[in-house]
Amino acid sequence: MRLADNGSLTLDNNLQEAFIEDIDSFTYICHGRVLEVDHHELFYSKNHKIANSIFRGEPYQYAHQSIEYRVRLGNLSYGRSTDYRDYNLFGNYLGMIKPGDEVKFRVRKGPREKVVAIYNCTTGRQLRPSIQLSAGVVRLFAVLATALLAGGVYGVYYLITSGVLWHIFMKILYGLIGLGLVLWIYDLLFFRFFRKRK
C-alpha cells in the first residue's frame, strides 16, 4: 500500500503483509481484518461538539448526532486473533465496514491516535466519512476567537487607563452642554420672547 499524490491509499503488490507498518515518524499503516464494529450515536449540543473538538480532538460533525465507531482490527489469520488493536472512527461509516473485511488504516501517531485514511481491501475502495470539520480547524477558530476577545478586553483596558476614554467622554459632555445651551437660547428667543409680544 502506498500513498498517492492526491492523499488516497493504493495497494502495492509487493507489500509485505505486516500488521503494523511504519511510513514515517508521524503515521503508520495497520493492515488487518475487522473483528468487531461497534457504533454509538449521541445527540450533543453545538457547544458540546465544539468542546469535544477542542479538548478531545474529535472532528466537528454537522449532523444532529455525533457518530463514533470503535473498530477492532486483528491480524489476517482466520483463526482466533490474539494480536489486535482498537481504533475510533468519527463520522458515518454505516455499511462500509463489516466484520471480516480486510482493511488498511493510515493512522496519525500521538496521544490519541487518529485514523486519517481507510482503504477497504475487500471492496477495493477508499472510505470517506460523512461531512465533518477537522479538530485542527475548530481549534484554530477557537484560538482566533480567544485572541480577538483578549484584544477587545485589552483595548477597553487601554482606553480606561490611558485617559482616552475620559477625553472622549468629556468631549461628548461638552458637546451635549453646548447643544443644551443652544436649544435653551432658541427656546428663550423664539418661543418665550416672541410669544409675550403677541
**120-159 pLDDT per residue, tens:** 988 888 988 888 888 889 999 999 999 999 999 998 888 8
Domain boundaries, the chain: 2-134, 163-198
Backbone angles phi, psi at 62, to 5 degrees: -75, -15
Residue with cell 509485505: 16
Q: What angle do CA 77, 107, 42 make, to 5 degrees?
A: 95
Element (H, E) at 185: helix 164-186
pLDDT at 16: 36
- Cα gap 86→113, rounded to integer Å: 10
Sorting pLDDT into bands at 50, 70 and 90, what band is 77? low
The answer to whether the Cα torsion of 22, 23, 28, 34 is positive or negative is: negative
Domain 2-134 is found in CATH 2.40.50: yes
* Choice between 20 and 13, residue whose per-residue pLDDT is larger: 20
pLDDT on residue 171: 92
- For residues 1 and 119, the answer to whether their CB atoms sit within 8 Å is yes
